[in-house]
């Protein structure tokens, strides 16, 4: 993946409901300020962690303009979490008793009175209300008005090489509106942009894989190249197809008929319909029926340069083609966000929940947990809980940077995959043999070692860490009840004695060296556009694959929605329906030989030959039983039917 993520109820993200401390000093509010505002309600987590005293550059200019959103709490925040937990728990008498979107809104959504209260307060504070929805009230105004409304000062802070403004203390709201307000976002202007979780080239420039290839794992051995780990290694597969993945994960005769999958990414590929149709025809997938692939798009797009908009075209292409390849009869609705910001992606997720556009939602994006404020986590969890009460399950890529140390310098998981209300999908390296036979999987973690200059050896096997499935223990989210008794204490209590959420929950193919073949229209060096194919991986692949497998499972149970799947996924842990994925499943070190064009297109720029060692995921290990690379494992034959 390339980068762009209380209730006392177990299973609820602690980040969503950090306890409200009574003392002003404990909240980080200056004593004098708190004394001046005795009738205010603090909103925990609204001062970003990077806004420290050492980084403080002084007060923000009063002429600066601020845009923000006040998210609405709804009628019954505690009741929402409780119902979402009960309706998702196979042992609960409320299991599967979902509400319609209209019922969920009437029972838990914001009231007209709440909207009116918040709107009136903001206007009275001198702020302009720019948008009103059933989820939030958007505002714009100068610094003085913002400070008055939210009971804080805005200061400028150094963050990296740049300076951004942020609240200098915890934000508060008048007690008269406290029951209407969930949280506020946007009072700091540091970019918090999600990135798609894959190893995709930028689609404006064509990318192709060099050969030789294997057509199935081990079908073409690099006999003329040096041994590695005491043997000749196979060439990397050209890219698995839907037929091979369906066989590996026990699809049987199920096709996802009657099931709706939604895919959320930023922006929208202008060629998705023709590319997806061409790919299906070329690789034996069922042709799309009329209306089977639809798109729900915003009126306009923003932040196209900052988000790398064209890179998201490839993400959409991968997600759509992988989901259709594994569940060829499922209805696919693509929901494009206006940008890769939290607010715009949340808008996309809310469209699905508000209109119940699908029962299964695949999301191949995220960012390191340290980038996520607890206020943003609260908004995400509200969406996920509302989806759960409607029978909608959200699946998120766990990340492509292993433990994130090489990427950020800090061991951490990714968000929103860290939420206790989503299914976090980890990654594997998959070996599918001749006749579509499942051979083995190992945890996805790649070491990269180059061929020596004289061509007689591989330099420094296993080489440097290149990429791997995200996973580990959250620092902010409490351990959900469904992980108790399955996740080892050594993992669950790695961040605190009380236990925390561990990622991922389940896994599927992600290693780009045993990856999936996709087809996309890209730009050739002569600036013409042409459909081309290449191998791709990342947990961006794993998420739509698992979403598609869940569509098969929903078909197997007669079309009844699975909803938030984690309690049931963990309840099946000892039932034999998972491949228990471990590193070195054959008893020996594993790797493939990969040959790449140096210019990404053809041999005129030369070739690079490397060994990509499999099962070397930073500090994370795939071991027997639950682990922080592959969760409970990957779907085995019997998994789909177990949902009946």
* pLDDT value of position 9: 28
Q: pLDDT-based confidence at 38, cuts 50/70/90?
A: low
Q: pLDDT-based confidence at 243, cuts 50/70/90?
A: very high
211-246+256-562+579-643, which class in CATH?
Answer: alpha beta
Measured CA to CA in angstroms, residue 463 lies from 232, 449, 467, 503, 588 at distances of: 17, 4, 12, 26, 17
Residue 640 DSSP symbol: T
- What pLDDT, in 10s, does the model give residues 560-596? 999 999 999 999 999 999 999 999 999 999 999 999 9
N residues, the chain: 644
Q: Which among 170, 171, 152, 73 is positioned nearest to 117, based on CA atoms?
A: 73
Measured CA to CA in angstroms, residue 483 lies from 277, 420, 504, 634 at distances of: 40, 10, 11, 17
Q: What are the residues whose beta carbons fall under 8 Å from the beta carbon of 22, sequence distance 6 or more?
A: none
The yes-or-no verdict on residue 23 having pLDDT over 50 is: no
* pLDDT value of position 194: 74
Whose tokens are 């995200």? That residue is 470
* pLDDT value of position 13: 31
pTM: 0.92
Peptide bond into 431 cis (omega under 30): no
Q: For the chain, give the mean pLDDT.
A: 92
* pLDDT value of position 643: 98
The yes-or-no verdict on residue 31 having pLDDT over 80 is: no
- What pLDDT, in 10s, does the model give residues 275-303? 999 999 999 999 999 999 999 999 999 99
* pLDDT value of position 18: 27
CA dihedral 252→256→257→260, nearest 10 degrees, is 180
* pLDDT value of position 526: 84
Q: Which among 114, 118, 173, 113 is positioned nearest to 149, based on CA atoms?
A: 173
- What pLDDT, in 10s, does the model give residues 330-386? 999 999 999 999 999 999 999 999 999 999 999 999 999 999 989 999 999 999 999
* pLDDT value of position 25: 26
> In which residue ranges of the chain is CATH 3.40.50.200 found?
211-246+256-562+579-643
The yes-or-no verdict on residue 32 having pLDDT over 50 is: no
Report whether 344 contacts 261 (CB < 8 A). Answer: no
* pLDDT value of position 197: 56
* pLDDT value of position 10: 29
- What pLDDT, in 10s, does the model give residues 174-224? 999 999 999 999 999 988 777 765 543 345 578 899 999 999 999 999 999
Maximum Cα–Cα distance across the chain: 79
Q: pLDDT-based confidence at 16, cuts 50/70/90?
A: very low
Which residues on neighbouring strands pair with residue 605, listed in sequence order? none
The yes-or-no verdict on residue 618 having pLDDT over 90 is: yes
Cα separation, 162 vs 393, in Å, equals 38
Report whether 502 contacts 531 (CB < 8 A). Answer: no
- What pLDDT, in 10s, does the model give residues 397-443? 999 999 999 999 999 999 999 999 999 999 999 999 999 999 999 99
**Secondary structure of residue 516 in the 3-state scheme:** strand
* pLDDT value of position 200: 36
Cα separation, 19 vs 166, in Å, equals 22
Q: What does the H/E/C string look like for 30-51?
A: CHHHHHHCCCEEECCCCCCCCC
- What pLDDT, in 10s, does the model give residues 42-99? 999 899 999 999 999 999 999 999 999 999 999 999 999 999 999 999 999 999 999 9
């Amino acid at each position: 993946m390339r980068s762009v993520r209380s209730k006392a109820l177990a299973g609820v993200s602690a980040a969503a409901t950090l306890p409200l401390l009574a003392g002003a000093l404990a909240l980080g509010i200056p004593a004098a300020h708190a004394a001046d505002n005795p009738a205010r309600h603090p909103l925990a987590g609204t001062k970003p962690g990077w806004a420290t005293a050492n980084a403080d550059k002084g007060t923000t200019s009063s002429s600066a303009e601020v845009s923000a959103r006040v998210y609405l709490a709804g009628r019954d925040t505690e009741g929402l979490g409780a119902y979402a937990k009960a309706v998702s728990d196979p042992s609960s008498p409320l299991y599967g008793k979902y509400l319609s979107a209209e019922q969920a809104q009437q029972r838990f959504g914001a009231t007209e009175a709440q909207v009116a209260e918040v709107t009136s307060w903001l206007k009275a504070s001198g702020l302009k209300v720019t948008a009103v929805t059933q989820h939030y009230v958007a505002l714009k105004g100068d610094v003085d008005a913002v400070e008055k409304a939210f009971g804080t000062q805005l200061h400028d802070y150094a963050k990296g090489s740049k300076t951004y403004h942020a609240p200098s203390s915890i934000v508060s709201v008048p007690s008269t509106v406290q029951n209407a307000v969930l949280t506020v976002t946007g009072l700091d202007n540091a970019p918090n942009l999600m990135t798609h979780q894959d190893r995709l080239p930028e689609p404006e420039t064509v990318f192709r894989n060099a050969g030789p290839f294997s057509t199935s794992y081990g079908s073409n051995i690099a006999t003329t190249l040096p041994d590695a780990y005491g043997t000749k290694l196979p060439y990397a597969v050209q890219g698995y197809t839907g037929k091979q993945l369906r066989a590996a994960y026990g699809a049987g005769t199920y096709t996802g008929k009657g099931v709706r999958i939604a895919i959320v990414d930023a922006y929208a590929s202008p060629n998705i319909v023709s590319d997806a149709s061409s790919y299906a025809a070329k690789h034996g997938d069922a042709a799309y029926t009329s209306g089977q692939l639809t798109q729900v798009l915003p009126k306009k797009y923003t932040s196209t340069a900052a988000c790398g908009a064209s890179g998201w075209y490839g993400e959409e292409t991968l997600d759509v083609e992988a989901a259709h390849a594994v569940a060829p009869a499922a209805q696919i609705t693509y929901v494009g966000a206006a940008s890769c910001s939290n607010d715009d992606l949340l808008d996309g997720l809310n469209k699905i929940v508000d209109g119940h556009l699908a029962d299964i939602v695949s999301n191949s994006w995220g960012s390191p947990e340290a980038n996520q404020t607890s206020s943003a986590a609260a908004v995400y969890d509200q969406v996920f809980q509302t989806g759960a009460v409607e029978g909608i399950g959200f699946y998120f890529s766990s990340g492509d940077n292993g433990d994130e140390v090489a990427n950020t310098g800090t061991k951490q998981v990714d968000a929103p995959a860290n939420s206790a209300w989503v299914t976090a999908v980890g990654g594997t390296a998959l070996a599918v043999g001749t006749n579509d036979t499942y051979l083995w999987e190992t945890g996805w973690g790649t070491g990269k070692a180059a061929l020596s200059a004289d061509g007689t050896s591989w330099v420094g096997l296993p080489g440097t860490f290149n990429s791997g499935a995200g996973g580990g223990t959250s620092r902010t989210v409490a351990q959900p009840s469904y992980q108790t008794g399955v996740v080892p204490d050594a993992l669950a209590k790695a961040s605190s004695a009380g236990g925390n959420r561990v990622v991922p929950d389940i896994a599927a193919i992600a290693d780009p060296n045993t990856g999936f073949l996709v087809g996309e229209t890209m730009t050739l060096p002569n600036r013409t556009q042409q459909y081309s194919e290449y191998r791709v991986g990342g947990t961006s692949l794993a998420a739509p694959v698992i979403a598609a497998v869940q569509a098969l499972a929903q078909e197997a149970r007669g079309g009844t929605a699975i909803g938030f799947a984690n309690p049931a996924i963990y309840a099946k842990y000892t039932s034999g329906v998972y491949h228990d994925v471990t590193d070195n499943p054959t008893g020996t070190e594993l790797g493939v030989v990969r040959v790449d064009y140096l210019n990404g297109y053809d041999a005129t720029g030369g070739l690079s030959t490397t060994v990509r060692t499999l099962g070397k995921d930073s500090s994370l290990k795939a071991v027997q039983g639950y682990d922080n690379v592959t969760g409970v494992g990957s779907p085995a034959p019997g998994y789909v039917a177990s949902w009946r």
